[in-house]
Homo-oligomer: A and B are copies of this chain.
Amino acid sequence: MSGKNKQYKLAARPVGTPKDSDWEFTSSDIPTAGDGEVVVKVHYVSLDPAMRGWMNDAKSYIPPVGLGEVMRAGTVGEVIESNNPAFSVGDCVTGYHGVQQYGKSDGKDLVKVDPNLAPLQSYIGGLGMPGLTAYFGLTDVGAVKEGDTVLVSGAAGAVGSMVGQIAKIKGARAVGLAGGADKCKYVVEELGFDACIDYKSPNFLSDLKEPLKSGVDVYFDNVGGDILDIALARLNRHARVVICGAISQYNNTTPVQGPVNYLNLLVQHARMEGFVVFDYVKQYGEGSMQLGKWYSEGKLKLKEHIDEGIENFPSTFLKLFTGENFGKLVLKVSED
């Protein structure tokens, strides 16, 4: 085993949008397995909005990434060395190896996956954390029920695309918000949402009227900002607003934009509730089984946006914030 392990480390805490100088691109020796350990060759790195939060030195649901540490990220790859009886060379596993080509683990955070059932990258996408986020967020926090109108922002994204599809499976109407006509077309024609509205269109507000004429029972928010306010203004009685993220706000250098229309919660006796998928760690098994079943029955379509080359990490990561990605954003970092 020769060669090097290319890595992106956090060099500085970004102010606003991350810049190239916030990263250090280095290489180290490929790790070797100690007692009970396994070495994983990473094929795909998951790029997710939550990573932006992990770069800030702020108290949150998970400690920040330290300066000089490999950037934290979900990964999927292949075991290439194992001193752990639970794993064999050749096993495919998901884990949190971060933005690098090889990772080492005691195995506790690794989950074996089957590349014959779904493409490897799906296990860090629709069948992984984003899928579980959509599943628990919509069914538990959002308490979706038959006949509800579910509105979801980032509808062409990793989480949003799953939210709408699960809403449909549950007998609800699914209305998406996405940026651009191509994404909206995909969301309706491929994913089967009832409607999808282009928030970049000059007619955005009037375009919302028809699909939301019966109001919003569940709003699943991935973006925050003005769109959260637009949704709050359209809530039905006893509506549920699921706060999953606020990507429009993550690179702000000014304070977060608070939802001006929050008093509509009072008028409609509605609730707004936040969560992170880690809250459901004890139920991951149940969620994964359900998602896998729906996938095998052809009820879930997964779309990935795959960029290649670990050296492209900084620019690929920024696509999350510009909306350039179309589907779950992953970076292929293996080189053969």
Q: Is the CB of A276 within 8 A of B272?
A: no
The reply to whether the CB of A255 lies closer than 8 angstroms to some CB of chain B is yes
Stretch of A239-247, A294-302, A315-323 lying at the B interface: A239-247
Q: A236-268: which have CB < 8 Å to B?
A: 243-246, 249, 255-268
This chain: copies in complex: 2
A279 to B266, CA, bound (A): 10
Q: Is the CB of A272 within 8 A of B269?
A: no
Q: Note all chain B residues with C-beta closer than 8 A to A257.
A: 258, 260
The reply to whether the CB of A91 lies closer than 8 angstroms to some CB of chain B is no
**Chain B nearest CB, measured from A41 CB (Å):** 34
Closest partner residue, chain B, to A221 (CB atom):
B266
Candidates B246, B259, B267, B271; contact of A259 at CB < 8 Å:
B259
Q: Is the CB of B269 within 8 A of A279?
A: yes
The reply to whether the CB of A229 lies closer than 8 angstroms to some CB of chain B is yes
Q: Is the CB of A260 within 8 A of B258?
A: yes
Q: Is the CB of A270 within 8 A of B273?
A: yes
Residue from the set A264, A266, A274, A276 with the largest chain B CB neighbour count within 10 Å? A266
Chain A: residues with Cβ within 8 Å of the partner, total of: 32
Q: Is the CB of B271 within 8 A of A271?
A: yes
Q: Is the CB of B267 within 8 A of A274?
A: yes
Q: Is the CB of B270 within 8 A of A274?
A: yes
Q: Is the CB of A258 within 8 A of B266?
A: no
Q: Note all chain B residues with C-beta closer than 8 A to A243.
A: 262-263, 265-266
Q: Is the CB of B255 within 8 A of A260?
A: yes
Closest partner residue, chain B, to A266 (CB atom):
B274
The reply to whether the CB of A275 lies closer than 8 angstroms to some CB of chain B is yes
Q: Is the CB of B279 within 8 A of A274?
A: no
The 8 closest A-B pairs by CB, nearest first: A258-B258, A266-B274, A265-B274, A271-B273, A258-B260, A258-B259, A272-B272, A269-B275
Where the two chains meet, the residues of A that have a C-beta atom closer than 8 Å to any C-beta of B are 60-61, 224, 229, 243-246, 249, 255-276, 279
Sample of 16 A–B contacts (CB below 8 Å): A61-B267, A243-B266, A245-B266, A246-B266, A258-B260, A258-B262, A259-B259, A262-B272, A263-B274, A265-B272, A265-B274, A267-B274, A269-B276, A270-B274, A271-B271, A271-B273
